[in-house]
Structure 1
Amino acid sequence: MNSETGKYIILIGCGVVLLGVIIYFFHDKLHWIGRLPGDIRVEKENVRFYFPITTMILFSVLVSVIVAIVRKFL
């Protein structure tokens, strides 16, 4: 391992801490996550199936933008 790996691990750790703080303080305002139009939800008597496809696409785009910004500055 070199110092670059350490920098990436520190950045990822800071990102996880920031995400945790956002979820901790704003959990009541984030109820829409997982309930977007396009998320598949099937509930029957004994079966519950949930596939948040729209939410996953939104998070994928968001993570791609963040990674592109980080790569631009590093």
Structure 2
Amino acid sequence: MTDFPKILMIIGGLLLVIGFFMQFIGKLPGDIIFKKGNTTVFFPIVTCIVISIVLSLILSLLGRFK
């Protein structure tokens, strides 16, 4: 039962980080948007890089606590 508070804090932290980054998805400089007529093509290059770095950091921190 002593691990339960740690798990709740980790889940809460993850939800906080995910919620924070959901506000900025698609709005970062470097994301490419082409609009022509009724067609819109979106390439979230920088957003994908940022998400990858954040997930790598979170998973490496979780790996250290085992």
Shorter-chain TM-score category?
A: 0.5 to 0.7
The answer for unaligned runs of 5 or more in structure 2 is: 1-6
- Relative CO higher for 1 or 2, CA cutoff 8 Å, sep ≥ 6? 2
Quick check: which one's helix share is greater? 1
Q: Is residue 59 of structure 2 the alignment partner of residue 59 of structure 1?
A: no
Give the superposed CA RMSD: 2.4
Q: Is residue 34 of structure 2 the alignment partner of residue 42 of structure 1?
A: yes
Q: Map of 1:1-74 to 2, 5 A cutoff?
A: 15=11, 18-19=14-15, 23=19, 30=23, 32-74=24-66
Task: State the TM-score, normalizing by the size of structure 2.
Answer: 0.65
User: Structure 1 vs Structure 2: percent identity of aligned residues?
Assistant: 41
Q: Secondary structure in 2 aligned to 1:68?
A: helix
1:61, distance to aligned residue in structure 2 (A): 0.2
The answer for unaligned runs of 5 or more in structure 1 is: 1-10
Could you list the structure 1 runs, at least 4 aligned residues long, displaced by more than 6 angstroms after superposition: none
1:39, distance to aligned residue in structure 2 (A): 0.3
Distance between the aligned counterparts of 1:34 and 1:65, measured in 2?
21
User: Would you say how many aligned residue pairs link Structure 1 and Structure 2?
Assistant: 54
